[in-house]
Structure 1
Amino acid sequence: MWSKKLLLLLVLPLLLNYGSSAQQVFTLQQAIDTAIANYGIIKAKANYTAASKELVSQARREYLPNFNIGAQQDYGTINGQNGPLYGFGGLSAASAGPSLDQQNWNAAFGALYLTNINWDFFAFGRAKEKIKTAVAAATQNDKDWQQEIFKHKIKVAATYLNLVAAHQLTRSYLDNLNRADTIRHIVRTRVLNGLIAGVDSSQANAEYSSAKIALTKAKDFEQEQSNLLAQLMGIAPQDLILDTSYVARIPIIPVTPEVLDNHPLLQYYKSRIALSDEQSRYYKTLYYPAFSLVGLLQTRGSGFGNNYMQNQHDFTQSYWDGVKPTRSNYLFGVGVTWNISQPFRISKQVKSQTFISKGLENEYELADQQIHAQLALADVKIKNALDNYNEVPVQVKAASDAYLQKSVLYRNGLTNLVDVTQSLYALIRAQTDRDIAYSNVWQALLLKAAAAGDFSIFEK
């Protein structure tokens, strides 16, 4: 007997520890970390940023010279003809031979081996500006990714607070249901004892049903917020045990800096302007010519002999004799290429890009105005939320005292059910205001963090 009791004492702490670990609280920071790791839009913009960084490397490598190698082995005739020829689209043969007085069908193998280097070594900063444009595009994508993370943190935090408030509202409405049930049992007992009229029982039943409906609506809202939070975190909907300390205390309200240049949204708008300006500078480099350096090494082989013009039998159809390299040439050169009509076309593109930059600056100014207005609104909301928070305890205490008084009077037959019901309404309204007041202070602080562009204002 004593051994069983001793075994139970040893096992009980383990069971309690298991239960506490299974019911671990899911904190707001965990929700934010999960959302940033799983949410599809954030992962997509991270990939876009990585792709744009690769394009920067690609732009840097474009300045390298073109190095081409080629080899071909052919079999065909070499009839030539005096006259002009231009190969539109490359759709012409490059057969070369004597201009004979008639067609013949002598054919042999031939080959061409080619190495070519072509390098635009100077184009008035065109390659440099192209690299800068690619860097600006990568910066824009990175800023877009960062401001998306910031916005998502705000969304997750707001939904988490809404879910905590909804959970507390559900508890308040559950307490209200229990009070309505208690009143219903008291009324039923008094009716059965003939102390009051039966109509009170019907009214009590109606109030109990109303309390059940209100509780169901509160649960429905809580489930909606839970589902929305799961969507924002990129996980399947599930029951979570939340950190309810947000409805037990209020935060310390920090002083917000006046300078908002580091706001993620403003940084993103600035990166768009910078990219547009870089594109305009790159387009301007297309006004000017490009200086090129070329180098070529060519080796040819042919089954036709060097006396073929006088003797059309001087050829062989041997494959190796035809493709074996026998003649080589090399070439080095410097050239300049300039389409003089290009500036007339590009000038309009530059002007168009200038207007785009001005439009982006207008969008930046609008965003800056909206953020400052939102910051002022956040300060007002914080003040109002704190005022309500300070009034709520008075309201809840008064409503609780009134309900206690009316319920005691009703048990002793000194008041009617209508007075009790009215005090019940006042109490649930006070408790609802209490739950919302705590949440509103945190929501107002979150709005301030969003307006200031600094999530640490809320985190701290």
Structure 2
Amino acid sequence: MHKYIVKIMLAILLCSQQAVSQQMPKVLSLDEAISRSIETYPSIRAKLAEIQASKAEAAASRVGYTLPAISFQAQALYATSNQVRGTFFPNEGTAIPTSGGIKVNGYTSDAVLSSFSTLLGSYKLVNFGKKKTDETLSKARIEQASADYERELFEHKVEVADAYLLTLVFQDALKVQQKNFDRIQAFYSVIHATAAAGLRPGVDSSMAAAELSKASVVLLESQKIAEQQKIKLAELLGGESPNFELVSDKFNVTLPVYNVHNIQQENPLLKFYEKRIGSSIAQTQAIRKSYLPSIMARGALWARGSGISDRTDDAGNFAYNSSLSGLKFRAYDYMAGLTTLWNISDVFRTKQQARSQQYLTESYQQQFNEARLRVDGQMQTADLQYASSLKVVEQAPIQLSAAQAAYAQADARYQAGLSTVVELTQSIALLNRAEIDQIIAHNNVWRSFLQKLAAVGDITDFLNQAK
């Protein structure tokens, strides 16, 4: 935290850009900023979509078990009917079957129209526990998606709140630099006038001009940093225009009161890792069950038509009719019964898949352990930062009071001709730094308080005290 404070001070005091003062049309509180970001930020909306996708996938899985599968097909073909007796392997449906009797007059290029239509229904009567494991897996995936959404939502709230506090400290620092610039400008005007009248040495006027230029550079840079941070905050709000003002009175006047919290398993980050482990375990169970067969109740209706007659002539040849009458159904059939298909060798494949998933579960468990260690470390760091910030904020008013007294004394001594311009400029720089320290110290208490509750996994206390 100390290093971060130094970086903020150096960034404010050492860089440069043009200052532009404009009236913001809107005042944005912390609660409003968080609410706006939740409604519009893309990553949060994406996580909500993932939840809906998981629910839709679960619904699709339920349909596969609760509703029968019904399929219909129809075809009208113009084809020859040459064939021989024997059998053939279907080669996963790529072989084309030929239907009809064997012609005694050999092969012919004559072709006729034929038709074929089927209505097939099947329902899984027995699935040997596959339905239950699939339902458990679907539920686990929904819980994982929901936990991922809660994690993303929580982390974004923390990020927005922290960006809000940083924007405040940079804007307040800009006000301090404007005040410092006005102070040095008034100081320069007096010295320049007295030097021009011969009452002060010319070197005093030159040094005052240098201090005024330096103050202008710092003011310009403070404006740039403040605007950059406001743009970053606007980005976290979902691309809002940065034309808004922030509410700073609460954070500059009061300090938060920390109530003891313990890290809970409900921490959104830990909860996400926990749900991912549960989903992986459910996936393992589903894989183990997937090789088992299902007993299906099946029923079918089908009909066929052909332009080849069922009767033969005296020579034993079938009569061919190439007209459209071949499309008319001539034979009708039905079927009902139970079927099953079991790829027994799949047990070896699913066994290896289950082992692979178990290793993934172990990986997720170790990631959970790592996240827990990281959260514990964040809590300890946040405790240290919070305690340090409280000590600093106690000293900041003392530093500011002493710097104000030193400036008043140096100014009085210089006006009386008892000191040099160097002593006065040093007192101005000391006062400016004390004013900046005062702002940073107060803001850092709130930021460290936020980080403590972020490590716990619940920033409700911060939001309540920030109202």
TM-score, normalising length: structure 1? 0.90
> Which aligned pairs between 1:305-320 and structure 2 lie closer than 5 A?
305-308=309-312, 310=314, 312=317, 314-319=319-324
Q: How does 1:155-194 map to 2 (within 5 A)?
A: 155-194=159-198
Which residue type is aligned with residue 323 of structure 1?
Answer: L
| SS, match of residue 260 in structure 1 | coil
CA contact (8 A) 2:103 2:318 kept: no
In the TM superposition, 1:254-265 aligns within 5 A as 254-265=258-269
Q: SS state of the match for residue 74, structure 1? A: strand
Tell me the distance in 2 between the aligned counterparts of 1:229 and 1:52: 32
Q: 2:218 aligns with which of 214, 233, 237?
A: 214
User: Match for 2:83 among 80, 96, 102?
Assistant: 80
Asked whether the equivalents of residues 376 and 455 of structure 2 are also in contact (C-alpha less than 8 Å), the reply is: yes
Q: Structure 1 residues 247, 209: closer, same or farther in 2, change over 3 A?
A: farther
2:446 aligned partner: 442
Letter in 1 for 2:317: Q
Residue in 2 aligned with 1:298?
302
State yes or no: 1:364 paired with 2:368. Answer: yes
Describe how 1:185-334 pairs up with structure 2 within 5 A: 185-308=189-312, 310=314, 312=317, 314-319=319-324, 321-334=325-338
The CA distance in 2 between the partners of 1:309 and 1:363, in whole Å, is 81
User: Matched residue of 1:71: which SS?
Assistant: strand
| Alignment partner of 2:45 out of 26, 43, 46 | 43
Conserved 8 A contact 2:24-2:244: no
Letter matched to residue 120 of structure 1: K
Q: Distance in 1 between matches of 2:156 and 2:25?
A: 27
Counterparts of 2:219 and 2:413, CA distance in 1: 27
Q: What is the DSSP-based 3-state SS (H/G/I as helix, E as strand, rest coil) of the residue aligned with 2:254? A: coil
Q: 1:22 to 1:229 in 2, by over 3 A?
A: closer
State the alpha-carbon separation in 2 of the partners of residues 345 and 309 from structure 1: 57
1:61-72 pair list within 5 angstroms: 61-63=63-65, 64-72=67-75
Contact 1:79 1:100 (8 Å CA) reproduced: no
The match for 1:27 is 29
The alpha-carbon deviation at position 105 of structure 1 amounts to 4.1
Q: Distance in 2 between matches of 1:412 and 1:149?
A: 62
Q: Following the alignment from structure 2 to structure 1, what is the Cα–Cα distance between the partners of residues 24 and 428?
A: 37
Q: Distance in 1 between matches of 2:196 and 2:89?
A: 114
Specify whether residues 423 and 272 from structure 1 end up closer, same or farther in structure 2 by C-alpha distance, changes over 3 A only: same
- Report how far residue 251 of structure 1 moved: 3.5
What TM-score, normalized by structure 2, do the two folds share?
0.89
For residues 379 and 153 of structure 2, the distance between their equivalents in structure 1, rounded to whole angstroms, comes to 20
Name the % identity. 29
Aligned length: 439
SS at the partner of 2:162?
A: helix
Which one of 368, 378, 383 corresponds to residue 379 of structure 1? 383
Contact 2:252 2:439 in 1 (8 A): no
Name structure 2 gaps, 5 residues minimum: 1-22
Deviations 1:327-373 (A, max 9, x none): 22111121222222111121111111111111111111111111122
**1:173 and 1:393 mapped to 2: Cα distance?**
18
Secondary structure of the residue aligned to 1:294 is strand
User: C-alpha separation between the residues in 1 aligned to 2:263 and 2:348?
Assistant: 43
| 2:129 pairs with 1:135 | no
Matched to 1:139, the amino acid is: E
Partner of 1:18: none
Q: SS state of the match for residue 306, structure 1? A: strand
Task: Decide whether aligned partners of structure 1 residues 279 and 92 sit closer, same or farther in structure 2, where only a CA change above 3 A counts.
Answer: same
Greater CA drift, 175-184 or 131-140: 131-140
RMSD between superposed Cα atoms in Å: 1.9
**C-alpha distance in 2, partners of 1:77/1:86?**
21
The aligned counterpart of 2:399 is: 395
After TM superposition, give the deviation of residue 281 of structure 1 in Å. 0.2
For residue 351 of structure 1, what is the amino acid of its counterpart?
R
Change in CA separation of 1:416 and 1:343 when aligned onto 2, cut-off 3 Å: same
Letter in 2 for 1:79: N
Deviations 1:408-447, CA, capped at 9 Å, x for gaps: 2212222221111111111111101001011101101110
Larger RCO, structures 1/2 (Cα 8 Å, 6+ apart): 2
Q: How many angstroms does 1:207 deviate by?
A: 0.9
Give the deviation of 1:270 after TM superposition.
0.9
> Are the counterparts in 2 of residues 256 and 452 from structure 1 also a CA contact under 8 Å?
no
Letter aligned with residue 164 of structure 1: L
SS of the aligned residue for 1:298 comes to strand
Whether the aligned pair in 2 keeps the contact of 1:79 and 1:103 (CA below 8 Å) is yes
Q: What is the alpha-carbon distance in structure 1 between the residues aligned to residue 85 and residue 366 of structure 2?
A: 66
1:358-415: CA deviation from partner (whole Å, max 9, x where unpaired): 1111111111111122112212211111111111111111111111121122122222
Instruction: Report if aligned partners of 1:262, 1:453 keep a CA contact under 8 Å in 2.
Output: yes
Confirm or deny: 8 A CA contact 1:28 1:157 kept in the other structure. yes
Instruction: Give 3-state SS (helix, strand or coil) of 2:309's partner.
Output: coil
Deviation at residue 23 of structure 1 after TM alignment: 4.2
Deviations 1:11-55 (A, max 9, x none): xxxxxxxxxx98442111121122122222222222222212111
